[in-house]
Amino acid sequence: MGLARLGFIVVTIAACATGAGGDDSSGTDASADAKGKSDGTTPQDGVAPDVQSTACNAQSCSSGCCSGTTCSAGSDDTACGSGGSTCVDCTASSEVCSNQACASQPPPCSKTTCAKGCCNLGVCAAGQSDQACGTNGVTCIDCSKQGLVCLNGFCTQ
Distance CA 65, CA 60 (A): 10
Q: Specify the pLDDT at position 108.
A: 87
Q: Specify the pLDDT at position 86.
A: 96
Share of the chain above pLDDT 70, in %: 66
Least confident piece of the model among 24-28, 53-57, 100-104, 133-137: 24-28
Task: Between 44 and 115, name the one with better pLDDT.
Answer: 115
What are the residue ranges spanned by the domains of the chain?
3-52, 65-104, 118-156
Q: Specify the pLDDT at position 119.
A: 95
Neighbours of 135 (CB within 10 A): 19
Q: Is it the case that residue 9 has pLDDT exceeding 60?
A: no
Distance CA 14, CA 20 (A): 9
Span between the terminal Cα atoms of the chain, in Å? 98
Torsion of the alpha carbons at 90, 93, 99 and 101, rounded to the nearest 10: -90
CA 124 to chain centre: 29
Mean pLDDT of 61-78: 95
Distance CA 1, CA 152 (A): 98
Residue 105: band (very low, low, confident or very high) from pLDDT cuts 50, 70, 90? confident
Q: Is it the case that residue 103 has pLDDT exceeding 80?
A: yes
CB of 9 within 8 A of CB of 17? no
- The structure's pTM equals 0.41
Q: Is it the case that residue 50 has pLDDT exceeding 80?
A: no
